[in-house]
Amino acid sequence: MSRSIVVTRPHHEIVTKYLCDWSKEVVDMARTKGLEVFDLDGTKSTRRNFEGYVKKHSPNFAFVNGHGNALEVAGHENEIIIDKECNLKIQIIYARSCEAALILGPSLVSRSVDTFIGYTRKFIFGYDPSKCYKPLDDVLAKLFLEPSNLVASTIIKGHPAREANKRSKDAMYKNFRKMISSRATYEERFAARWLWSNINSQVVLGDPNCVF
Amino acid sequence: MNSDSQLKEIDLDPELKEQLKALVLERINVMPDTMRIAIGTTEVAKSDIIRHVTDEDEIGKQMIEMELEFLQALGSGAVYTNE
């Protein structure tokens, strides 16, 4: 398999816009490491493009952002790009999407995927609506999305999936502790409960020692 | 503490369920009006969360579960240990 990654980054509304913008740093990091990166951002984030890239280039790692549920993950305009019937051969998938680890993840690792990292609940993040046109300036959203990026960046650096999960959770927990401290703003203290949910719902399925 | 089994217990006890829902609604009521959260396919404000919890729909149920788990974690001290 070639050392390449595919990233889906739809941004057709506010939630996906946040995921798209915050994923960019992972894309940039992968490129600086000399990896081949197939960045399916915005309208490129379609099933046809995703399947086409995977079939042609067999990427080792797929970082999938977008809406989803227990059975599927979506791309641009909520077109389903990965579902239970998917037989694409990908070594590691990280789905920053709701509940994909409930049914979709186990289904994929039983067939064509070695490792799946995702969430057993709806992925949730707090944000400041005054920053919705500049998500990277949103300090509240950063508390959620920056540590979640660590799953992808740690994998790209060549660490096992379990290490990626651990680093991400450690970073989420560090933010969580800050958010429940007396130094936190009222908004941060209130949002801490949602980060607690993400910490507890992020799971690794399949081979935890899988390395990119 | 197993929150899954506790949630099942709560589901079976209507009075307990209503008390928990009322507690969650009180806690959501003090959420800053300026905040939004992205959950599932939507972004929601305080009034939306209150409606979801009142309706006990999919999002509302997750909100209730998250509050219960958070309160349990605070009470048990689990929030202070990274395990």
Residues in chain B whose Cβ is within 8 Å of chain A: 30-32, 34-43, 59, 62, 65-67, 69-70, 73, 79-80, 82
How many other β-carbons are positioned within 10 Å of the β-carbon of residue B22? 11
**pLDDT for position A87:** 84
Q: Are strands A61-65 and A4-9 parallel, antiparallel or unpaired?
A: parallel
Residue A142: which domain range? Answer: 4-201
**Residue A1: pLDDT band with limits 50, 70, 90:** very low
**Residue B5: pLDDT band with limits 50, 70, 90:** low
**pLDDT for position B40:** 80
Q: In this structure, what are the phi and psi dihedrals at residue A202, rounded to the nearest 5 degrees?
A: -80, 125
Q: Is A171 helix (H, G, I), strand (E, B) or coil?
A: helix
Q: B43 and A15: CB-CB below 8 Å? A: yes
Say if residue B1's pLDDT is above 50.
Answer: no
Residue A169 lies inside a defined structural domain of this protein: yes
**pLDDT for position B10:** 59
Average confidence (pLDDT) over A79-106: 94
Residue A212 lies inside a defined structural domain of this protein: no
Residue A84 lies inside a defined structural domain of this protein: yes
- Its pTM stands at 0.93
CA distance B74 to B56: 24
Residue A211 lies inside a defined structural domain of this protein: no
Q: Are strands A36-41 and A4-9 parallel, antiparallel or unpaired?
A: parallel
Of A123, A130, A197, the CB nearest to B66: A197
Residue A79 lies inside a defined structural domain of this protein: yes
Q: In this structure, what are the phi and psi dihedrals at residue A95, rounded to the nearest 5 degrees?
A: -105, 110
Tell me: the pLDDT tens digits for A166-201?
A: 999 999 999 999 999 999 999 999 999 999 999 999
Name the DSSP class of A205. Answer: E
**pLDDT for position B16:** 85
The residues facing A80 across adjacent strands are A74
A145 CB-near residues (< 8 Å, 6+ apart): A18, A19, A22, A125
As given in the structure block, the two tokens for residue A89 are 């051969």
CATH of residue A22 = 3.40.50.1460
Q: Is A33 helix (H, G, I), strand (E, B) or coil?
A: coil
Q: Which of A122, A123, A128, A201 to mutate to test the interface with B (most CBs of B within 10 A)?
A: A122
Q: B40 and A200: CB-CB below 8 Å? A: no
Enumerate the residues of chain B whose CB falls inside 8 A of the CB of residue A194: 37, 39, 66
Number of compact structural domains in chain A: 1
Span of A42-51, A95-104, B8-17, B72-81 with lowest mean pLDDT: B8-17
Q: A196 and B73: CB-CB below 8 Å? A: yes
Residue A210 lies inside a defined structural domain of this protein: no
Longest dimension (CA), chain B: 36
Residue A207 lies inside a defined structural domain of this protein: no
Tell me: the pLDDT tens digits for B49-76?
A: 999 999 999 899 999 999 999 999 999 9
Enumerate the residues of chain A whose CB falls inside 8 A of the CB of residue B80: 177
